[in-house]
Amino acid sequence: MKVLVKVFATLRKKYPEINDMNPLVLEFEEGVTAKEIIKKLDFQISEIHLILLNGRKIKPETSISDNNGILSLFPPIGGG
């Protein structure tokens, strides 16, 4: 199963080439959790403030089972 990972803001310090138009495509077994993907990317879970799967908030423990699902990872951000 393919997961398209996008990282944003300060998380790009580790993956400067990954962005909305150029996601990282990774292969996982169906049912992988967001937490496992975050670990695989070598992030601490505490660095991640918001996780979106296809634009909807999910928890780190949420299992992912849709092929080509888009996982967006954000540190704490705000503005206005």
CB of 72 to other proteins, least distance (A): 5
| Subset of residues 10 to 39 that bind other proteins, contact rule: CB under 8 A | 10, 12, 19-21
Are 27 and 1 contacting, i.e. CB atoms less than 8 angstroms apart? yes
Which range touches other proteins (CB under 8 A), out of 24-32, 33-41, 67-75?
67-75
Output b/e per residue, 11-37; b: 16+ Cβ within 10 A: beeebeebeeeebbeeebeeebbbbbb
Question: Which residues would be at the binding site for other proteins (CB under 8 A)?
Answer: 6, 8-10, 12, 19-21, 49-50, 52, 54-57, 72, 74-80
